Amino acid sequence: MPTPATEADAPPVHVRFGNGSEGYASLVWRRFRRSPMGMVGLVLVVLMLVVSVFADFFAPMDPKAAHLPFAPPDVIAFEDPQGKFSLIPYVYPIGDTGEFDPVTFQPLTGLIRDNPTPTGFFVEGFEYKFVWFIPSNIHFFGSVDGRPIHLLGTDKFGRDILSRGIIGSRISLMIALAVVTLTTLVGTLVGITSGYIGGRLDAWVQRFVDFVLAFPQLPLYLALTSLIPVTAPSNVFLSFVIFVMAVLGWAQLSREVRSKTLSLARIDYVRAAIAVGATDGRIITRHILPNVLSHIIVAVSLAIPSVVLLESFLGFLGFAVKPPLISWGLMLQDTGTFSVIGSYPWILSPVVFVLITVFAFNALGDGLRDAVDPY
**pLDDT average, residue stretch 279-290:** 80
**pLDDT average, residue stretch 58-71:** 88
Cα dihedral across residues 284, 288, 294, 299: positive or negative: negative
Q: What is the pLDDT of residue 269?
A: 78
Q: Please check whether residue 333 is in contact with residue 318, taking contact to mean a CB–CB distance below 8 angstroms.
A: yes
Least confident of 44-48, 166-170, 297-301: 297-301
Q: What is the pLDDT of residue 71?
A: 83
Q: Please check whether residue 155 is in contact with residue 163, taking contact to mean a CB–CB distance below 8 angstroms.
A: no
Between 55 and 238, where is the model more confident?
55
Q: What is the pLDDT of residue 40?
A: 92
**pLDDT average, residue stretch 348-354:** 89
Q: What is the pLDDT of residue 225?
A: 65
Cα dihedral across residues 299, 305, 311, 316: positive or negative: negative
Q: How many C-beta neighbours within 10 Å does residue 227 have?
A: 9
Least confident of 76-85, 116-125, 298-307: 76-85
Percent of the chain scoring above 70 in pLDDT: 87
Task: Inform me whether the pLDDT recorded for 375 exceeds 70.
Answer: no
pLDDT tens digit string along 213-268? 887 877 877 776 677 776 777 777 788 888 888 888 888 889 988 888 888 877 87
Residue type, 220: L
pLDDT tens digit string along 10-51? 555 544 455 555 677 788 888 888 888 989 999 999 999 999
Least confident of 90-104, 230-244, 284-298, 305-319: 90-104
What is the SS3 string spanning the chain? CCCCCCCCCCCCCCCCCCCCCCCHHHHHHHHHCCCHHHHHHHHHHHHHHHHHHCHHHHCCCCCCCCCCCCCCCCEEEEECCCCCEEEEEEEECEEEEEEECCCCCCEEEEECCCCCEEEEEEEEEEEEEECCCEEEEEEEEEECCCCCCCCCCECCCCCEHHHHHHHHHHHHHHHHHHHHHHHHHHHHHHHHHHHHHCHHHHHHHHHHHHHHHHCCHHHHHHHHHCCCCCCCCHHHHHHHHHHHHHHCCCHHHHHHHHHHHHHHCCCHHHHHHHHCCCCHHHHHHHHHHHHHHHHHHHHHHHHHHHHHHHHHHHHHHCCCCCCCCCCHHHHHHHHCCHHHHHHCHHHHHHHHHHHHHHHHHHHHHHHHHHHHCCC
Nearest of 355, 102, 316, 352 to residue 218 by alpha carbon: 316
**pLDDT average, residue stretch 345-349:** 87
What does the alpha-carbon distance between residue 165 and residue 331 come to, in Å, rounded to a whole number?
A: 8
Task: Inform me whether the pLDDT recorded for 321 exceeds 50.
Answer: yes
pLDDT tens digit string along 84-105? 787 888 888 776 666 777 777 6
Residue 200 CA, chain-centre distance (Å), reads: 40
Q: What is the pLDDT of residue 3?
A: 56
Q: Please check whether residue 156 is in contact with residue 66, taking contact to mean a CB–CB distance below 8 angstroms.
A: no
Percent of the chain scoring above 90 in pLDDT: 13
Q: Please check whether residue 257 is in contact with residue 188, taking contact to mean a CB–CB distance below 8 angstroms.
A: yes
Label residue 70 by pLDDT band (50, 70, 90). confident
pTM of the shown model: 0.81
**pLDDT average, residue stretch 326-352:** 81
pLDDT tens digit string along 124-147? 888 888 877 888 899 999 888 888
Q: Please check whether residue 55 is in contact with residue 166, taking contact to mean a CB–CB distance below 8 angstroms.
A: yes
Nearest of 163, 122, 125 to residue 140 by alpha carbon: 122
Helices 36-53, 24-32: crossing angle, 10 deg rounding: 100
Q: What is the pLDDT of residue 199?
A: 83
> Does residue 116 have a cis bond before it (omega within 30 degrees)?
no
